[in-house]
Amino acid sequence: MTSAASSVARSDLAELRRLKALLPPELQSWVMIEPASGVNPPLITCEEIGKDEVEIQIDLARWDQLAKDQRNLLFWHEVARIQNDTIPRDGWEMAALAIGLGGAVGELWVQDGLLLLLALGLCGFSGWRLYQRNNGEKVLKEAIAADERAIALATRFGYELPNAYKSLGSALKLLIEQSPNRRQRKRYELRLQALKKSAAKAKARMQNLQTDTLPQ
């Protein structure tokens, strides 16, 4: 039992080191890769953990069930989110919303109209900012943009373009099959549709280039 656990731990460390090598050189000094913690964590996600420091977290138990090429493209998707500066941050909005709500309740008690208006204004502004951050359409657009950049990263690391599209597409299909959350599953489906359109455009561009280079 101990030997099996040690073997799994060594395998996990080897995978984390392998992924570290897949980071572009300009990110390697400030992007960390760690096993995910908590109950039912996402397969892979990233978050800002400090000033100029980002952590990619991976559920290694589920991660190991994917093919290597699928893992690579999903990893580069998270890297692309970092490069596109679209990762979640510890914002001030929730704290401001709590302060505003608390202030509004307090001012209702003491009946200070001006301070009540200020508290309600703070609630409204922080709520609007939270809506912007969590807007479904915005999140989807950012995810599709990250998929496009992940394909570019894959070619930078030696993938042929068709294989990069196939690997990410198969990974998204697997996530669709495994996701119990209907909204999340729909988001994966929309990403897959956008990826197929992008692949078709890339294929057409390659065919046009081949036609242009043929001897007349």
Measured CA distances, 131 to 93, 177, 206 (Å): 10, 29, 40
DSSP annotation of 23 reads S
77 against 39, higher pLDDT: 77
What pLDDT was estimated at residue 38? 81
Rounded-to-integer distance, Cα 107 and Cα 117, Å: 9
User: What are the pLDDT digits (tens) for 32-56?
Assistant: 999 998 888 999 999 888 777 899 9
Alpha helices in the chain, H assignment, sequence order? 2-21, 60-63, 68-83, 93-110, 113-134, 136-156, 161-178, 182-213
Quote the mean pLDDT of the chain: 81
In the chain, where are the structural domains located?
2-89+134-208
Query: What sign does the CA torsion over 150, 155, 158, 159 have?
Result: positive
Q: Name the percent of the chain lying above pLDDT 70.
A: 70
Instruction: Tell me the three state secondary structure of residue 172.
Output: helix
What pLDDT was estimated at residue 98? 47
pTM of the model: 0.78
Q: Token pair for residue 209?
A: 């280039």
Rounded-to-integer distance, Cα 97 and Cα 82, Å: 27
Grade residue 173 by pLDDT with cuts at 50, 70 and 90: very high
What pLDDT was estimated at residue 164? 97
From 2-6, 70-74, 168-172, 203-207, the region with the lowest mean pLDDT: 2-6
Strands 53-58 and 31-35 come out as: parallel
End-to-end CA distance of the chain: 69
